[in-house]
Copies of this chain bind each other. A is one copy, B any other.
Amino acid sequence: MVGNGIEAFGLRDDAAVLDLPAAGPLLASVDSVVEGVHVDLALCSPGDVGWKALMGALSDLAAMGAAPLAALVALCVPGGTGEGELAAGVMAGVAEAAAATGCAVVGGDVSGASELAVAVTVLGTVEDGGPPPVPRAGARPGDVVLVTGPCGGSAAGLRELRAGRGDGAAVAAYRRPLARLREGELARRAGAHAMIDISDGLALDLHRLADASGVGFALDRVPVASDATEDEALGGGEDYELVVVCAARGAAALDESCADAGLRRPVRIGSVLDDPAVRLLDGVALQRLGWQHRVG
């Protein structure tokens, strides 16, 4: 048994049966990790791939302020020597990430393929009677823009691995990122107007949030992870920190609830503008920096 009482991976029936606590919104998202596109097995282990696949999917729940309920994993593994070991390694990483977040793995499918690919579907909930899930499209002029932590660590870790250096905090940030599930829930309860997770880069993901909301923004700082460059912080991706947009009062409430929970306090990086054509960092137009592909 993992997490919230739902049976762990190892299906007896054609479908898993989840007893939901209450009627209300159910959140669902799917995310894939493919060898040669998103990951390189020369730079991370099969367990890292499983961990990254589940955390990347869970980050989508975090960005709506939802709590994880369950995950289903579709695994494609190349045939031949080591096939079983590779599949077991990936699933062990999935299980570690599931245990770290209280998410049950309730279903799976393993298939042959010519390269490793992991597609993870996650289901999540928000508490009955609480604020609804937070969209991308809710940012309002005058809101403040926060980020839950420094950015660029994952990209710095990938750079270090490619240079043959295999330790340090940046490498851990790349191999074992953390979805900011508790921060997302606290932001929703603090009345956040809009959120997005930083999967492709702070700049690109913030532009997407602004596109969805029909607003502009002015940033006056970017928190850069140690060992990372500002370019990596803006365009590196896979940080899975959250961009949170809320009224000043909401920002104060979130700061307090993060402190109470022993979490890092979100950093104020700028504010929302009325004109959607104005997207600035330190008074200069901010490019849509971000990764389309993670390897290559």
Question: A113–B115 Cα gap in the complex (Å)?
Answer: 8
Whether the pair A61, B27 counts as a contact (CB closer than 8 A) is no
Question: A22–B24 Cα gap in the complex (Å)?
Answer: 7
| Given A15-B133, A117-B76, A212-B12, A109 contacting B30 (CB threshold 8 A) | yes
CB contacts (< 8 Å) of A63 on chain B: these are 13-15
CB contacts (< 8 Å) of A124 on chain B: these are 15
Q: How many chain A residues touch the partner (CB < 8 A)? A: 61
Question: A123–B195 Cα gap in the complex (Å)?
Answer: 26
What copy number does this chain have within its complex? Answer: 2
Whether the pair A72, B13 counts as a contact (CB closer than 8 A) is no
Whether the pair B36, A114 counts as a contact (CB closer than 8 A) is yes
Q: Which 7 A-B pairs have the closest CB atoms?
A: A74-B119, A121-B121, A15-B29, A14-B60, A14-B63, A119-B119, A30-B72
Residues of A with Cβ closer than 8 Å to B?
Answer: 12-32, 34, 36-38, 59-61, 63-64, 66, 70, 72-74, 76, 106-109, 111-115, 117, 119, 121-124, 132-133, 135-137, 195-197, 212, 293
Task: Knowing that A17-B133, A31-B109, A36-B114 touch, tell me 7 more A-B residue pairs with CB under 8 angstroms.
Answer: A13-B137, A13-B212, A22-B23, A23-B23, A28-B70, A29-B72, A34-B76
